[in-house]
Amino acid sequence: MKTSIIRNISLFISTFVFLQACNLPHHDPATLPIIGNRDVVDGDTIYHTVPDFAFVDQDSQLVTNETFAGKAYVVDFFFTSCPTICPKVTKQMLRIYNAFKDEDRLLLLAHTIDPKRDTVGHLKMYATNLGVESSKWHFVTGEKDDLYEIADDYFSIAIENPDVPGGFDHSGRIILVDPQRHVRSFCDGTDPESVDKFMKDIEVLLNEMKNNASPQ
């Protein structure tokens, strides 16, 4: 009799725990969340998307949203004379480049925020010194206000602490954008462990793209 009561209580607790677990909100590890502000218009959720842009890369080629059509891409902001943060971030970007060098569905996009000094020729030299392919990793320049404006747009959704004023150029953040122009992940580009997790997120996104299961 006593054994039966204990068994029934155990069964009840197990069933309760199982049901509770089913009700818990969870993140499907096969997909990444879409990060940023969202609006509901006529019942449809409208996610933040990266705006149109047009810059010039180290080969003097025009780089626009079309350059990344059907691809995911990794974004950062830097300038070649940066004495502190940028060299650390570029080192991590190089890790990402090497890890996904043969992955056609992923590109890298680095924006200078010092277009006066980081000319096309200067960016070419910088990319050559890193030993990277222009078709894989675009180093772009343009109008200073346009570069800062798109940085504000990317980072408005990636800044965890709204009390930190501006400062994207020293944030060292690296951002992952999907083919639908949604930001899907970001990390601290000065922290190798944060970049390790970010690279796993890239794999999740690539897998999601493969399965054509992008949450819209």
Partner 1 sequence: MRLPLRFPLFFFALILFSCQNKGPATTQTSLTDAQKAEQEARRQEIMDLHNAVMPQTAVVNRLSRQIKGFLQAESQAGREDENRQEALVEVIKRLNEADEAMYDWMGKFINNLDMLRESMDHQAVMNYLDGELVKIRDIDTLTQSSIERARAAMEKYGINQSEDK
Binding site for partner 1 (CB under 8 A): 79, 81-85, 114, 116-117, 144-145, 148-149, 151-152, 155-156, 159, 162-170
| Residue 34 zone, left/alpha/beta (φ > 0; ψ -120 to 50; rest) | beta
Least distance from partner 1 to the Cβ atom of residue 182, Å: 18
- Residue 45 structure tokens: 């959720």
Q: Which is nearer to partner 1, 123 or 159 (CB)?
A: 159
Least distance from partner 1 to the Cβ atom of residue 47, Å: 17
Q: Which is nearer to partner 1, 101 or 170 (CB)?
A: 170
Least distance from partner 1 to the Cβ atom of residue 12, Å: 51
Q: How far apart are CA 163 and CA 210, in angstroms?
A: 38
Least distance from partner 1 to the Cβ atom of residue 37, Å: 11
Q: How far apart are CA 142 and CA 58, in angstroms?
A: 11
Q: Which is nearer to partner 1, 38 or 144 (CB)?
A: 144
Contact predicate 148/111, CB 8 Å: no
Q: How far apart are CA 46 and CA 138, in angstroms?
A: 29
Choose among 131, 140, 123: nearest CA to 97.
Answer: 131
Q: Which is nearer to partner 1, 164 or 213 (CB)?
A: 164
Name the 3-class secondary structure at 36: coil
Least distance from partner 1 to the Cβ atom of residue 116, Å: 7
Q: Which is nearer to partner 1, 151 or 177 (CB)?
A: 151
Q: How far apart are CA 146 and CA 190, in angstroms?
A: 25
